[in-house]
Chain A
Amino acid sequence: MAVETRAEKTSPLREVLETRQYELNMGPQHPATHGVYRAVLQLDGERVLAMESVLGYLHRGIEKWAEYRTWTQATPIFDRLDYVGAVLNGHGYVGAVEKLLGVEVPRRAQYIRVVLGELQRIANHLLWLGTHALDVGAMSMLFYPMREREVILDLFEAMLGQRLLPNAYPIGGVRFDFPKGWEPVCRRFLAAFPGRVDDYEGLLTGNRIWRQRTIGVGVISAKDAIALSLSGPTLRGSGVNFDVRKAIPYSSYGDFEFEVPLGKNGDVFDRYLCRVREMRQSARIIQQALDGMPEGELRGKVGKIIRPPVGEAYYTVEAAKGQLGYYIVSDGGEKPWRVHVKSPSFVNLQGIETMSRGNLIADVVAIIGSLDIVLGEVDR
């Protein structure tokens, strides 16, 4: 709050012109909260003094639900966590079960998982880019990424039979090989894609308004980001080099060459740049995986009925939003005893208070966009 000057203190109008903080309820029905996120803002004018997140509007009890399904039947449920990055969610769950079972996933299946996973990452980032730009007011940017995302969803449909929630992997490998004619389409997409990203960057990265709206807004230091255990591009925007694909390589990620884009200042602009550059790297990974695709089996040795031994396992993947972890416990039966999801959206959302304090309402909108949250994953 601003300090009162002497003239203001002695002013006879003081009683009349007293300013007050007020509370503004943002969400759960607000176009910029990307679903049913609710924030209660304490405002001084348009400046945010404090904010509180209220969650739970999309809680569907997914973790509990999984306990009433067999290990196999539980797989499609986890697609519904982060419904715009479904393939990566599925990867995390089947990875955890495979770890507990001790199944070796064939190398070809691992490579296919990399291809599909990175395509999903690109699709997720494209959707994020469009909606984030729309939040900041750039209307056309919603439509250009959708055009490219459509190609990816078509590829999913051709291979997996579903566009959004494809239930991509069975436990132990992949269900299908690439269908005929799939790979050329994918390669054509990869060839065109960097040019498309250049187009997006041409509209935003150098745009004065975009830079003014994002640089220096929603800053979070590397120290705070680690303390709040943020992950994914939200963490890397602050310059912390942590990517599960590099740090704990899974599914043959060690075979591929790619860079982990890092930011410097931890503001909205850096997080934006991280994600945009990550899309280029993902395209690079897919290219390498398609070029070096090994021959072989699609599925490891898994029985018809899956009964993991008594015990627990934790498996973590780099999902589109950040580090997605599955902690599973088996009592030796046909059903999971417990599946706990460490979801990146939920953890990253913790950072919003630190980022928003002292900024304006319009910045809060930009910050929510830069966190790339999906409420299906926040509430589970």
Chain B
Amino acid sequence: MSRLARSAGNRGSTPREAKRAMTYEVLLNTVGWPLAKIVVLLAAVLTVVAYIGWFERRLLGLFQSRLGPNRVGPLGLLQPVADGLKLFLKEDIVPLNARPFLFKLAPVFAFFPAFLGFAVVSWALPWATPSGRHHGFVVADVDLGILLVLAVSSLGIFGIILGGWSSGSKYPLMGSLRSASQMLAYEIPLTLSVIAVILLGGSFRLSDIVAAQQKLGAYFILPGLLAFGVYLISAVAETNRVPFDLPEGESEIIGFHTEYSGMRFGFFFVAEYANMVLISVIAASLFLGGYDLPGVDDAALYAAHPNLASALGVFAFAAKSALFAYFYVWIRATFPRYRYDQLLRIGWVVLLPIALANVALVALLKLWLLR
């Protein structure tokens, strides 16, 4: 690349040569680098998603005075591989009553949006190359980043509704109906709590929100404590986890994926964990300062050792997100499940007014104190 760049800048070359080098560079910047980033990010996210299952099961084991998976590989670390292999080898069943096309399409609908949101997450400060270029730790640092995450993540519901409906069976249908009303009820408080953060940060872009927290010198969890609470509860509900795991409600209606088997079920499963990771990651950037290193002057460190700051930033981000993941597992180990009507009541009657009031509160705060 550097050779081409040099030749592009070489005054001695013919215009034709320069033009060819230019298109190459444009191509590299618009397709090559983003593609490389996507591949790296997907690999990383898929690995994390696979291992969050292991993480959860080991942790639940600790909570429940048992061991958890420890047979496959050291500490059971190969368990996700074994599980994935098992899902691939299972028979793929399409029930007679199902609508085959939609039935097969539904897992894709659930799977795809779950991974799309990761594109706009800014993982660390840009990586500086010796030639003076900066590569952002983000696939697409779009202006409306956080809105994109919200919009895309609510697309995942289509997979659940389609999956439940096209199964041609009553239990999955009930599961998907529950899921739809639950998503509706909690999408709004979730969005409102994020709006409070957007007000505080003054931008929709995730890297700007982190920068705003660094500038403020405090994470938004402090001024946005209420928003944080609403976000936490709604996030648990959005990802269909205990105590809001009604769409699955194993002991009641088994879930919207009752009729799925093999890797089609695996897609739903992976999508759920991907959503959990995404929502933890977003929570970390919105409320806990993302890749900001706690107790360190990031700007100074970045000026002195930019790459060290970036690398540490990724670790800080991962650690903060892991905190949320731990929290998820913790409540799963502790609470019983809410009932359908109770869950909706909490969403509409409790969380929505709190979230609305909080938006007004944060707006006033922003107006008077944090100018």
**Interface residues in chain A, defined as those with a beta carbon under 8 Å from any beta carbon in chain B:** 22, 24, 30-32, 46, 133-140, 142-144, 147, 203-204, 207, 209-210, 212-213, 360-363, 365
Contact call B342/A212, Cβ cutoff below 8 A: yes
**Interface residues in chain B, defined as those with a beta carbon under 8 Å from any beta carbon in chain A:** 60, 63-66, 170-171, 174, 242-243, 245-246, 249-254, 332-342
Contact call B64/A209, Cβ cutoff below 8 A: no
A48 to chain B, nearest CB (A): 12
Contacting residues, chain A, for B337 (C-beta < 8 A): 136-138, 209, 213, 362
Contacting residues, chain B, for A24 (C-beta < 8 A): 170-171
Name the residue among A135, A139, A142 with the largest chain B CB count within 10 angstroms. A139
Known contacts A139-B242, A207-B336; is-contact A22 B170 (Cβ 8 Å): yes
Known contacts A209-B336, A210-B336; is-contact A360 B65 (Cβ 8 Å): no
**What is the bound-complex CA distance between A207 and B242, given in angstroms?**
14
Name the residue among A133, A134, A136, A209 with the largest chain B CB count within 10 angstroms. A209
B252 to chain A, nearest CB (A): 5
Give the contacting residue for B336; candidates A137, A143, A147, A363; CB below 8 A. A137
Contact call A362/B252, Cβ cutoff below 8 A: yes
Given contacts A22-B170, A31-B250, A209-B338, 6 further A-B contacts (CB under 8 A): A31-B251, A136-B251, A137-B242, A137-B249, A139-B333, A210-B336
**What is the bound-complex CA distance between A361 and B337, given in angstroms?**
13
Give the contacting residue for A143; candidates B65, B253, B254; CB below 8 A. B65
Contact call B174/A46, Cβ cutoff below 8 A: yes
Q: Which residue of the partner chain A has the closest CB to B243?
A: A209
B207 to chain A, nearest CB (A): 38
Query: What are 26 residue pairs bridging A and B, where the CB atoms are less than 8 Å apart in the complex?
Result: A31-B251, A32-B252, A134-B251, A136-B336, A137-B242, A137-B243, A137-B245, A138-B336, A138-B337, A139-B332, A140-B60, A140-B64, A140-B334, A143-B64, A144-B64, A207-B336, A209-B337, A212-B338, A212-B342, A213-B338, A360-B340, A362-B246, A362-B249, A362-B337, A363-B339, A365-B251
Q: Is the interface of A mostly helix, strand, loop or mixed?
A: helix
Contacting residues, chain A, for B338 (C-beta < 8 A): 137, 209, 212-213
A147 to chain B, nearest CB (A): 6
**What is the bound-complex CA distance between A137 and B65, given in angstroms?**
18
Contact call B336/A213, Cβ cutoff below 8 A: yes
**What is the bound-complex CA distance between A136 and B339, given in angstroms?**
9
Contact call A212/B339, Cβ cutoff below 8 A: yes
**What is the bound-complex CA distance between A212 and B341, given in angstroms?**
11
Name the residue among B64, B242, B339 with the largest chain A CB count within 10 angstroms. B339
**What is the bound-complex CA distance between A143 and B60, given in angstroms?**
11
Shortest beta-carbon contacts, A-B, top 3: A137-B337, A138-B336, A143-B64
Contact call A203/B334, Cβ cutoff below 8 A: yes
Contact call A133/B336, Cβ cutoff below 8 A: yes
Q: Which residue of the partner chain A has the closest CB to B170?
A: A24
**What is the bound-complex CA distance between A148 and B65, given in angstroms?**
12
Contacting residues, chain A, for B249 (C-beta < 8 A): 137, 362
Q: Which residue of the partner chain A has the closest CB to B341?
A: A360
A184 to chain B, nearest CB (A): 23
A281 to chain B, nearest CB (A): 25
Q: Which residue of the partner chain A has the closest CB to B334?
A: A140
B170 to chain A, nearest CB (A): 6
Contacting residues, chain B, for A365 (C-beta < 8 A): 251-252
**What is the bound-complex CA distance between A144 and B65, given in angstroms?**
7
Contacting residues, chain A, for B339 (C-beta < 8 A): 212-213, 360, 362-363
Contacting residues, chain A, for B65 (C-beta < 8 A): 143-144, 147
Q: Which residue of the partner chain A has the closest CB to B339?
A: A362
Q: Which residue of the partner chain B has the closest CB to A209?
A: B336
**What is the bound-complex CA distance between A363 and B341, given in angstroms?**
11
B165 to chain A, nearest CB (A): 15
A21 to chain B, nearest CB (A): 13
**What is the bound-complex CA distance between A362 and B340, given in angstroms?**
8
**What is the bound-complex CA distance between A362 and B337, given in angstroms?**
10
Q: Which residue of the partner chain B has the closest CB to A25?
A: B170
Contacting residues, chain B, for A135 (C-beta < 8 A): 251
A103 to chain B, nearest CB (A): 45
A209 to chain B, nearest CB (A): 5
Contacting residues, chain A, for B336 (C-beta < 8 A): 133, 136-138, 204, 207, 209-210, 213
Contact call A46/B242, Cβ cutoff below 8 A: no
A36 to chain B, nearest CB (A): 16
Contacting residues, chain B, for A144 (C-beta < 8 A): 64-65
Contacting residues, chain B, for A204 (C-beta < 8 A): 336
Contact call A138/B335, Cβ cutoff below 8 A: yes
Contacting residues, chain A, for B170 (C-beta < 8 A): 22, 24
Contacting residues, chain A, for B332 (C-beta < 8 A): 139
**What is the bound-complex CA distance between A137 and B174, given in angstroms?**
18
B62 to chain A, nearest CB (A): 11
A35 to chain B, nearest CB (A): 14
B199 to chain A, nearest CB (A): 31
**What is the bound-complex CA distance between A204 and B245, given in angstroms?**
18
**What is the bound-complex CA distance between A138 and B251, given in angstroms?**
11
Q: Which residue of the partner chain B has the closest CB to A133?
A: B336
**What is the bound-complex CA distance between A210 and B242, given in angstroms?**
13
**What is the bound-complex CA distance between A328 and B174, given in angstroms?**
48
**What is the bound-complex CA distance between A221 and B249, given in angstroms?**
29
**What is the bound-complex CA distance between A227 and B270, given in angstroms?**
51
B40 to chain A, nearest CB (A): 36
Contact call A361/B253, Cβ cutoff below 8 A: yes
Contacting residues, chain A, for B242 (C-beta < 8 A): 137, 139
Contacting residues, chain A, for B333 (C-beta < 8 A): 139-140
Contacting residues, chain B, for A22 (C-beta < 8 A): 170
**What is the bound-complex CA distance between A143 and B251, given in angstroms?**
16
**What is the bound-complex CA distance between A134 and B170, given in angstroms?**
23
